[in-house]
Amino acid sequence: MTTPLSCRNYIDGRWLSAVGEATLESRNPADKTEVVATFVRSQAKDVDIAVAAARKAYHSWRKVPAPARAEYIFRVGEILLQHKEELAQLISREMGKPLTEARGDVQEGIDCAFYTAGEGRRLFGQTTPSEMSNKFAMTVRMPIGVCALITPWNFPVAIPCWKAMPALVCGNTVILKPAEDTPACATKLIEIFQQAGLPPGVINLVHGVGEEAGKALVEHPNVDLVSFTGSSETGAFVGATCGRTHKRVCLEMGGKNAQVVMEDADLELALDGAVWGAFGTTGQRCTATSRLILHRDIKEKFTTMLYERTSKLRLGAGTEPNTDIGPIVNEKQLQQVSKYLNIAREEGAKVLIGGEIASEGSLKNGYFFQPTILDNVTPDMRVAREEIFGPVVALIEVSSFEEAIAILNDSNYGLSSSVYTRDINRAFTAMRDIEAGITYINGPTIGAEVHLPFGGVKQTGNGHREAGTTAMDVFTEWKSVYVDFSGS
Ligand code: ADP
């Protein structure tokens, strides 16, 4: 066992303790006993200090030419690449995902750095004719100011990168408040930003509890924007508070993503998609496949294939090379998954495989839940409507393509979606009619690549799209500018 990392706040270019004495710890969810990190429990006073530092730095950072700001982010990408394996190991230990997935998490951060660095030379505005004589009219992008970035534990490197990198290239300064479960990942990531030489106060890190440090940031009068990824419940608080305090807010919350498999689909391909979509990251992704909508002609065959594949999945610590499915991140999430299994049984769903906390051998030392398939699910059941955030997939049978799309859309959420079919007419109809931010044809309900917009419709988000060129819309304001050249 390695010595726990001692995580402090990073404010104005310095590593600081919080004003209070209290510290908290993160533990390896595969064994519950290994303390991966201790971290400071910041209070409103610490948030005040961080916001003041970010505000002070903003005045000069916004005047640094965008291509020069972007060069820092390019450098972050280079250093991230050098530390990829070390960070991946840390992600696996701290939140449990298998190493191959953890490497993907870091790679997303690297991709985001190199993509966003290019945006520094592409923050285009427009010129437009003026109706008045001797005037040039144009639009320019302006930074927003001090941005609070509140992030979850499921992608502890990728999501902070998605938010911080475009925010910084656009000329904002940022304060990251990472999830309580992954303070070590956030600390190591910020060390990399520090190594890239960003000026003091441009990027700051405040550890702590959501209801304390996170809330203080959201309510702070000197924060201009909040970008939040997390649960719908917390997102509702963040959105309402930002409305009341007149802040720009970008919310990315829950999902209840569905994969449709039609009778003409390539079933092997659809099986790969379903297993990766439902059980990747132990189902703890906002894009996880939690409903499988199956045409009745292939349902029995596909269910057998899925059962067989699921029965072979190996649970274990993310750091073990043979692990397919890692632990659930913490006790609270494990209990939530168990609760939904009880609800499923009460509602009349049939547990085909799994359904229990895994306790064989060393699994009993961690927060493991068996990969679970629920059959006989109807669209009105709670397990077909509410986000479970665990390795549980519900099977729903349909008789037609129209019925499949209607059930897919019958959700309060609209993040990712997928249809497996060989029929090009169905493929294009699905692209047009599915109410979601992301649609895959013959691919799983995962997220989009970093250069494409990421986000959802309905209660998944509030209309913003982080990642891709649309991230620049989140982190800038437009200004209209006139130049009068009629004087002598
Ligand atoms: P989860 O239930 O998966 O932990 P949350 O939405 O509670 O998801 O957490 C996502 C992020 O929001 C975390 O960084 C957490 O600390 C933060 N957070 C939780 N509650 C609040 C709050 N009241 N105000 C601001 N941030 C919060």
Looking at residue 467, its pLDDT comes to 86
- Cα separation of 445 and 272, whole Å? 11
- Enter the tokens of residue 300: 């029995």
Looking at residue 408, its pLDDT comes to 98
What's the half-sphere exposure (Cβ side, CA atoms, 13 Å) at 364? 3
Which of 234, 238, 253, 336 has most ligand 1 atoms within 8 Å of CB, for mutation?
234
With 0-12 / 13-18 / 19 or more C-beta atoms within 10 angstroms meaning exposed / middle / buried, residue 469 is middle
The domain covering 258-441 belongs, at the CATH homologous superfamily level, to Aldehyde Dehydrogenase; Chain A, domain 2 (3.40.309.10)
Q: Which amino acid is at 312?
A: K
Q: How far is the CA of 201 from the centre of ligand 1 (A)?
A: 24
Atom of ligand 1 nearest to the CA of 151: 14
Q: Let me know if the fold of 5-253+461-480 is the same as that of 258-441.
A: no
* Structure confidence by residue, pLDDT tens digits, 13-29: 999 999 998 999 999 99
* Structure confidence by residue, pLDDT tens digits, 364-415: 999 999 999 999 999 999 999 999 999 999 999 999 999 999 999 999 999 9
With 0-12 / 13-18 / 19 or more C-beta atoms within 10 angstroms meaning exposed / middle / buried, residue 304 is exposed
Position 1 confidence tier, pLDDT thresholds 50, 70, 90: low
Q: Is the CB of 230 under 6 A from ligand 1?
A: yes
Contact by Cβ (8 Å): 290, 257: yes
pTM, entire model: 0.97
Q: How far is the CA of 280 from the centre of ligand 1 (A)?
A: 22
Contact by Cβ (8 Å): 450, 472: no
Q: Which amino acid is at 465?
A: R
What CATH topology corresponds to 5-253+461-480? Aldehyde Dehydrogenase; Chain A, domain 1 (3.40.605)
Q: Which residue has the higher pLDDT, 81 or 450?
A: 81
Looking at residue 21, its pLDDT comes to 85
**Closest residue (by CA) to atom 4 of ligand 1?**
152
Q: Is the CB of 237 under 6 A from ligand 1?
A: yes
Q: Is the CB of 152 under 6 A from ligand 1?
A: yes
* Structure confidence by residue, pLDDT tens digits, 85-107: 999 999 999 999 999 999 999 99
How high is the mean pLDDT of the chain?
A: 97
Q: How far is the CA of 215 from the centre of ligand 1 (A)?
A: 9
Per the listing, tokens 């720009």 go with 248
**Domain ranges (residues) in the chain:** 5-253+461-480, 258-441
Averaged over 299-303, what is the pLDDT? 98
Told to judge if 86 belongs to the known catalytic residues of this protein, a careful annotator would answer: no
At residue 139, φ and ψ (nearest 5 deg) are -120, 140
Looking at residue 204, its pLDDT comes to 98
Q: How far is the CA of 226 from the centre of ligand 1 (A)?
A: 13
The ipTM (two decimal places) reads 0.99
* Structure confidence by residue, pLDDT tens digits, 124-141: 999 999 999 999 999 999
